[in-house]
Structures are given as structure tokens and as C-alpha cells.
């Protein structure tokens, strides 16, 4: 699929194809939905950087909480990527607005925030890098305290409202984004 003269990477294509196949083989719209069923969906909708940023200096990341997708544009605008994400579980955990990448960590360690520890007192105080780490393989730290764009070992979370505030990506997607984003990349959560 061409978007703005660029080929939309194969990263989003499988999810789009699955969604289209599910829609064509389903009578889901004809049945009332139970409020207890949680859907693992992401509505991929492309955005144009000009609608959200005045420039793409240092690159630009747009996180669309409603569509559960992260958009990345390189500084020279030759690269555009669209990734499915996990987003915060509730509106009170969601922060929206402008921030930037202030640190990049390959193999991050994890500590629950004080609010997370209060909600989940049995959680460990620390998890080092590795397969049990909730931040996955890479993390982009934002200028907001405790907020990250990171990978996840639990791929069931992607496409869902499932995080405690952060934006989660498949590990292979955060690894790719990690290689393209810089300290100083502008970030907007809408």
C-alpha cells in the first residue's frame, strides 16, 4: 500500500490483512457485543506529519491512543513507519501532549512506579534486562517521568488498552524504531 508516495512497510501489513480477513468472514457487526469481551484490535489509519508537527527535525513520533498505533517519520521524511501498540488501560493512566525522547536504552531494567506498586503490592521492586522484563528489549525514555515507549515480552498486549501508562511495541518493532529515533526526537501523544 502506498502512503504519501512511500511504501507502507510490511510491519503493519499482516495486522491489516488479518483485520480485513476477520471483517470479511465475520458477522460481528450484526451481533450485540458483550461489554466484558476485550478486543485486541488496532485501527490502522495513516496520518500526515504536517497535521501534528511544524517540522520533522530529529524525527517525529505520533502516538494515536484511540487507534492504538505509533507513527514515525524520519527527519528527512524518507522513512515513515506505522506500528501497532499497547496503550494505557484507563484514561487516568493516559498522558497526552508533547514530549521528546530523552534517553535510549538497549536492554532496559524495570522498576514499578510508586503508583503501580501501590496498586500491585506483590510486584517485584526490580527486574533486570532479559526475557521477564516488562520493558522488552529496548526503551525510549520520554521527558515525562515514568513514561516510556518500549518493547514487550507479552505480545497479547499489543492492540489493547493494557499498559500502566507506557506505549508498548512488539520487540522487533521497538528494535527498528530504536535504530531510527534519536535523543531529541519529538513525540506527540493524541
Tens of pLDDT, residue by residue over 29-48, are 333 444 554 455 556 678 89
Task: Decide: 104 and 174 in contact? Cβ < 8 Å.
Answer: no
Phi and psi torsions of 176, nearest 5°? -65, -45
132 belongs to a structural domain: yes
Residues (pLDDT < 70) of the chain are: 1-44
Q: Which is the catalytic residue, given 47, 71, 138, 150?
A: 150
For position 46, what pLDDT does the model report? Answer: 83
Is 166 catalytic? The answer is yes
Query: Domain for residue 117, yes or no?
Result: yes
- Tell me the per-residue pLDDT of 92-110, one tens digit each, with 9 for 90 and over: 898 999 999 999 999 999 9
Report the CATH number at residue 124.
2.40.440.10
Catalytic: which of 47, 138, 166, 173?
166
What pLDDT is stored for residue 43 in this prediction?
64
Domain count, the chain: 1
In a domain, 136, yes or no: yes
* Residue carrying C-alpha cell 515507549: 149
> Quick one: 73 exposed, middle or buried, by C-beta within 10 A (0-12, 13-18, 19+)?
buried
Asked whether 83 and 167 are in contact (CB, 8 A), the reply is no
For residue 125, the enclosing domain spans 49-189
pLDDT of 126: 96
48 is catalytic: no
97 within domain boundaries: yes
109 is a domain residue: yes
With cell 524495570, the residue in question is: 110
The 8-class DSSP code of residue 89 comes to S
Identify the CA nearest to 178 among candidates 77, 130, 107. Answer: 107
Bridge partners, residue 98, by sequence: 188
Give domain status of residue 39, yes or no.
no
Amino acid at each position: 500500500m502506498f502512503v504519501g508516495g512511500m511504501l507502507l512497510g510490511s510491519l503493519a501489513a499482516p495486522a491489516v490483512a488479518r483485520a480485513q480477513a476477520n471483517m470479511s468472514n465475520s458477522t460481528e457487526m450484526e451481533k450485540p457485543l458483550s461489554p466484558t469481551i476485550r478486543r485486541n484490535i488496532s485501527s490502522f489509519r495513516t496520518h500526515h506529519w504536517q497535521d501534528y508537527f511544524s517540522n520533522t527535525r530529529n524525527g517525529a513520533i505520533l502516538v494515536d491512543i484511540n487507534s492504538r498505533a505509533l507513527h514515525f517519520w524520519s527527519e528527512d521524511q524518507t522513512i515513515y513507519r506505522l506500528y501497532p501498540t499497547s496503550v494505557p488501560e484507563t484514561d487516568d493512566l493516559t498522558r497526552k501532549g508533547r514530549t521528546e525522547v530523552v534517553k535510549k536504552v538497549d536492554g532496559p531494567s524495570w522498576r514499578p512506579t510508586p503508583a503501580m506498586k501501590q496498586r500491585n503490592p506483590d510486584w517485584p521492586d526490580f527486574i533486570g534486562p532479559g526475557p521477564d522484563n516488562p520493558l522488552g528489549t529496548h526503551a525510549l525514555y520520554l521527558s515525562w517521568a515514568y513514561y516510556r515507549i518500549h518493547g514487550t515480552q507479552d505480545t497479547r498486549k499489543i492492540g489493547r488498552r493494557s499498559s500502566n501508562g507506557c506505549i508498548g511495541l512488539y520487540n522487533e518493532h521497538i528494535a527498528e524504531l530504536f535504530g531510527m529515533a534519536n535523543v531529541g526526537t519529538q513525540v506527540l501523544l493524541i
